[in-house]
Chain A
Amino acid sequence: MITHDDELIALLLGDRRRSAALGRWLGTLEGRRELAAYRRTLEALEALYGDAAAAPRRTIYYCALPTPIGRVFVAAGEAGLVRLSFRQSEASFVAELRRLGADVVRSPARTADIVHQLRAYFAGERRSFDVRLDLRHTTPFQRRVLLAAARVPAGQVVSYGEIARRIGQPQGSRAVGQALGQNPVPIVIPCHRVIAAGGRIGGYTGGLGIKRKLLRLEGALAAAG
C-alpha cells in the first residue's frame, strides 16, 4: 500500500512524477503541512551533511601588526580576508576565529599581503585596499550594506540613510547601522566613512576616537576636528 508520504517523498527525490491523487492531497491543509515538513527535513539534511558540512576543516591564518590605532589583528583563509580586529586581545580574537569552525594558525607569511597594505594605509601611502574578502559568515542583508559601504572612497563620508537608500531600503538606516556595527573587516570595508545625519559622527564599534582618527588620516575630518 503506497501512502501519501511515500508518494510525496518520491516526488521530492525525483523518483516519480506527481500523481493526480497526490496533487489533490497537496491541496489540503495536511498535504501542504507535510510538503513543508519534508522540504524542511531535506534542507536540514543538506545543511548538516551536504558538501559544505562534509568539507574538510579549513584553516584560518592570522597575525598582528602595530598601528597608530593600536594592535590590529587580521585573519585570512583560502577564500580571502575573514576578520580584522582592534582593541581585542589575541586570545579572544583566536577564540572568535575558532567559533567559525576553523583551525587557527598564526602565520605572518600567509597574511603578508594584507599586512603590507595596512602598513601603507596607516602611513598615508594607500587609500584603498585590493584584497579578496570572505564574507560567508555574514547575512545577505549585511553583505549588501557592507558592499555599499566599501564603495565610499577615502576622504568622503556618507550617512547611514544614504547607504540605506543605495541598497534600496530607504527606511532601513537603523538596520544599516547595526549591520555596519558587525562589520567583520573594518578599515578594509570602511564603515568609519558612514556617519549620522547632519554631519554628526554617529557610532563605531571600535570607539569614536578611532573613527575620528581614521577619518582624519583620510582627510575627511579636519586635523583639529
Chain B
Amino acid sequence: MSVRSASLAELIERHRGELVGYLARMLGDRQEAEDACQEAFVRAHRAFGRLGPDANSRAWLYRIATNTGLNAARRRSHRAARAAEVDPDALPAAAGPSLERREELRAVRRAVEALPPRQRAALMLRQFQDLGYAEIAAALGGNEDAARANVYQALKKLRAALGGVRP
C-alpha cells in the first residue's frame, strides 16, 4: 500500500500542471480548475487500487479529470453563467491589438463557451493536451470516431462564429 501510494503521489506531481491547465481550458476559470483538480486527485486516490500495472496512467488521470470537469460544468450550468476568465483585452499585444482581431477573439471565446462540455473537452484534449483520438475516446467514453467527430464539430462551430473572412 505504501509503495503504491508513493507512486500515486509521484504521478500526481508529474501531471498536476497539465491537468490544471486542461481543467482551466475546459472550465474557463482558474480557481474552479484548481478545485476540480483537487477533487480529481481525491477520486484518483480512491480508484488507484483498480489501476492495472500496465495501464496508461496519464490517460487514466485524464479520464478522471475529464469526468470531474464535466461534473463541475454540469453543476455550474444550474447556476448563473459566470464571466469568462480569458479577457481578450488582457492578452499580450502579440495576440493582436487590432479592433477586428479583438472582435474575432471575442466571437471565438463566446463560441467556445457555448460548446457542449464534451465537445469542449475533446477539443482541448486534442489541441492543447496532445492526446490522440484513442486516448480522447478513453477519457470521454465512446470510440475514436466519436472522439474525432466531437473535435471536428467543435471546430466547425468556432469557425462559423467568425463569419465571413477574407482569404
Contacts and interface: CB of A to CB of B under 8 A. Distances in A.
B94 interface: yes
14 contacts: A9-B155, A9-B156, A13-B126, A36-B165, A37-B159, A41-B158, A44-B109, A45-B112, A47-B88, A47-B95, A48-B112, A56-B30, A136-B92, A137-B92
A6 B155 CA distance: 10
Contacts of B112: 45, 48-49
Nearest to B163: A37
Nearest to B107: A44
Residue among A9, A33, A52 facing the most chain B CB atoms (10 A cut-off)? A9
A29 interface: yes
A48 B109 CA distance: 7
A15 B148 contact: yes
B159 A41 contact: yes
Interface SS of B by simple majority: helix
Given A41-B158, A49-B128, A56-B30, A99 B97 contact: no
A35 B21 contact: no
A146 to B, nearest CB: 13
Nearest to A53: B86
Assign chain B's interface to a size class: 35 or more
A15 B147 CA distance: 13
B156 A44 contact: no
Interface residues of A, number: 36
B105 interface: yes
Interface in B68-122: 86-88, 90-97, 104-105, 108-109, 112
Given A9-B155, A37-B159, A40-B162, A32 B167 contact: yes
A9 B90 contact: no
A50 B94 contact: no
B24 interface: yes
Interface in B110-167: 112, 123-124, 126-128, 148, 151-152, 155-156, 158-159, 162, 164-167
Interface of A: 5-6, 9-10, 13, 15, 29, 32-38, 40-42, 44-45, 47-54, 56-57, 99-101, 136-139
A150 to B, nearest CB: 19
Given A48-B86, A48-B112, A139-B93, A36 B158 contact: no
B98 to A, nearest CB: 11
Contacts of B21: 51, 54
B25 interface: yes
A51 B124 CA distance: 12
B128 A41 contact: no
Contacts of B104: 40, 44
B93 A48 contact: no
